[in-house]
Structure 1
Amino acid sequence: MKTLLVVTALALSLAQPTAHAAVPYCYEEPHNPRADISDLKAGFTSANWMRTLQTMYQRRWPSGEALAKAQARDPYWNQFVRKDSFEGFAESMMVAIHEETHMWDLDGARTRWDVHTAAWIDATRQATTVPLHGGFARKEILPLIKDRLSDSMDGIYLRDRQQGEYKLQGVLAELNAGLTGLPAVTVVQEYIKGVGASNARDIAATNLRYLLLYLRVAKDRYPAYWAKIKAEPKLRDLVLTQFLRTAYWLEKSAPYTGKLGSANADKITATNYAPENIAVLEEFTGQRISTTQKNCTA
């Protein structure tokens, strides 16, 4: 109830600007990575993988359980889930949960491409009908990237002839999927033995980079578009939540760098906190970011 009240206060403060100081908001999410799932490992078979998935996250990450139940009938799970061993199963959750988030978010009943979007955030909160007003091709942020830290993903999402043309819709969708794929493997990291989840932290850090740079380009080159999106409380709320949420899960996953991400993830994150990025975020959302708790507003 306390978390709900804080979130409600945030939404109201964004919808109705006031001279009074906003209630500080911290993104947090229930999870228990030490909950015993040894019985699930011992009893795992290729036939009971969905029941195992739901029970595993019921104990360790309730948002994952809720998403799995919401998407239980989706026929595409089988393309993403490994069933040869429990270790392979746990490792495959980064891709499986990432892709099933896309399936939920981009369902035609929720999202109208480039018009409004949806985002599965956690078990108790999903953003819906978030206005986008189109936008500009995300490849336009490339000149602002001065390093090669995210080069492999830049090639996919920014330089690719089709992907590079995606607008704000594509930026937000990839970030949201990355922010479910990361906790999906963070809470079962001890079972991950291979490299299938080894860029989970990089994905989250890079897609936040794209969002911040997109806002900068919008403000500098497309003032009319900037004014439109800045006037949308739901979009401001989502952007702020995703920034704080990225900080939260990057911190929780930090001890597993190497297994769940490269050293570049933290280097990209450092650039995300450059003054020009924080300034555009704070101007867009109307909220100050805490300098001591990265998952909180000030």
Structure 2
Amino acid sequence: MSRGRWSLRLLTGCLALSLGSGYVASAAPAPSGQPATARPAGAAEPFCYSEPSNPQADVSDLRAAFNASNWMRTLQAMYQRRWPSGEKLAIAQAKDKYWDQFVNKRSFEGFAESMMVAIHEETHMWDLDPSRTKWDVSIAAWINGSQQATQVPVHGGFPRKEILPLIKDRLTASMDNTYLRDATQGTYRLQGVLAEQNAGLTGLPAVTVVHEYIKGVGASNARDIAATNLRYLLLYLRVAKTKHPEYWARIKAEPKLRELVLTQFLRTAYWLEKSAPYTGVVGGPDADKITATNYAPENIAILEEFTGRTVRKDAQKHCTAD
């Protein structure tokens, strides 16, 4: 799909790391409410992904005052207290004319539930802005409020539908049908894999931090989406190595891309852990099953070979081991 047609597709479906300066997440998790620190990419010490959040912050006043005309002020204030990255993304995208199509303004509960889709789609809008992304050449990714990836080379790639033979279960069947088997979506290359992975991952904290206000099912697959898109990324790397060795060598030689992949892996682990207590509201039981497959030896091996880093498989999955 062309750049121009991608934005149109976003409106009809649900679709933070400054890699430009070569930085990754902090050597230790930052306390809630504190900004994460950065370390040079060349440093060898272990590090962990973290970002500020405070799901217990009181927003009862915002709920009481919520109405259809103050939803953007409410959104920014809500995330200022609970997830500052969400506030900063909302500020960055405040003038986007498509917000209205993603936000439920009928009640505060509906509003909170709609944030999975709204933040997901506005992440797409930021990432895929033509000023930041050159289709199938280089990409951008909003990671968190203080870290965004820019000008990350992707060098085209191969259709993402080529990963289908590696999926042996039905845990991700509904998403497989949409993103891999669809006649158009299945042809998207590495740019499509990374764009969907980033937007899905940003949608997860958007609802995790307001979980107690979600009364419907509109955010009930947020954890599943994050786990599935990480699956797609890992499988894409495996197919690249085995079926497209020249392409594999080319992307493996890109430091920004290697760091983005590592950060997204650790970031997924971080938010899956943070959201785990709210399974049933922001995810189903299959999310943890998908995650278990992502930690299969062959998937961890390709991640570690591509990034050159060893990741932890214990309770600190959002950290590297070296």
CA distance in 1, matches of 2:179, 2:185: 5
Shift of 1:5: 6.4
Q: Which residue does the alignment assign to 2:235? A: 213
Shift of 1:262: 1.1
Which residue among 72, 81, 91 is the counterpart of 2:113?
91
Q: Which residue does the alignment assign to 1:134? A: 156
Which residue among 24, 36, 41 is the counterpart of 1:11?
41
CA distance in 2, matches of 1:197, 1:76: 20
Q: Which residue does the alignment assign to 1:297? A: 320
CA distance in 1, matches of 2:293, 2:146: 31
Structure 1 residue 186 corresponds to structure 2 residue 216? no
Q: Which residue does the alignment assign to 1:76? A: 98
Which residue among 160, 166, 170 is the counterpart of 1:144?
166
Return the TM-score normalized by structure 1.
Answer: 0.95
CA distance in 2, matches of 1:268, 1:278: 14
The one-letter amino acid paired with 2:74 is T
What does the per-residue CA deviation read over 1:123-166, in whole Å, with 9 as the maximum and x for residues that have no partner?
00000000000000000000000000000000000000000000
Decide whether the 8 Å contact of 1:9 with 1:23 is kept in 2: no
Which residue among 184, 188, 198 is the counterpart of 1:166?
188
**SS of equivalent residue, structure 1 residue 120:** strand
CA distance in 1, matches of 2:25, 2:185: 36
Alignment of 1:1-40 (within 5 A): 6=27, 8-13=38-43, 22-40=44-62
The one-letter amino acid paired with 2:293 is T
**SS of equivalent residue, structure 1 residue 156:** helix
The one-letter amino acid paired with 2:229 is N
Shift of 1:10: 4.7
Return the TM-score normalized by structure 2.
Answer: 0.88
Decide whether the 8 Å contact of 2:25 with 2:50 is kept in 1: no
CA distance in 2, matches of 1:241, 1:145: 24
Decide whether the 8 Å contact of 2:85 with 2:145 is kept in 1: yes
| Runs of 5+ consecutive residues of structure 2 not aligned to the other structure | 1-23, 28-36
Decide whether the 8 Å contact of 1:91 with 1:196 is kept in 2: yes
**SS of equivalent residue, structure 1 residue 118:** strand
CA distance in 1, matches of 2:73, 2:42: 39
CA distance in 1, matches of 2:239, 2:39: 30
The one-letter amino acid paired with 2:319 is C
CA distance in 2, matches of 1:248, 1:5: 13
RMSD of the alignment, in Å? 1.1
Structure 1 residue 122 corresponds to structure 2 residue 144? yes
**SS of equivalent residue, structure 1 residue 27:** coil
Decide whether the 8 Å contact of 1:179 with 1:246 is kept in 2: yes
The one-letter amino acid paired with 1:270 is A
**SS of equivalent residue, structure 2 residue 139:** strand
CA distance in 2, matches of 1:203, 1:282: 23
CA distance in 2, matches of 1:205, 1:4: 20
Q: Which residue does the alignment assign to 2:80? A: 58
What does the per-residue CA deviation read over 1:11-54, in whole Å, with 9 as the maximum and x for residues that have no partner?
234xxxxxxxx111100010000000000000000000000000
What does the per-residue CA deviation read over 1:83-107, in whole Å, with 9 as the maximum and x for residues that have no partner?
0000000000000000000000000
CA distance in 1, matches of 2:72, 2:133: 26
**Runs of 4+ off more than 4 Å:** 3-8
**SS of equivalent residue, structure 1 residue 96:** helix
CA distance in 2, matches of 1:92, 1:23: 39
Aligned length, in residue pairs: 288
Alignment of 1:283-294 (within 5 A): 283-292=305-314, 293-294=316-317
What does the per-residue CA deviation read over 1:214-249, in whole Å, with 9 as the maximum and x for residues that have no partner?
000001111110000000000000000000000000
CA distance in 2, matches of 1:23, 1:97: 33
Q: Which residue does the alignment assign to 2:259? A: 237
Shift of 1:4: 6.7
Shift of 1:8: 4.5
The one-letter amino acid paired with 1:9 is R
Decide whether the 8 Å contact of 1:10 with 1:23 is kept in 2: no
Structure 1 residue 101 corresponds to structure 2 residue 123? yes
Bigger fraction of residues in helix: 1
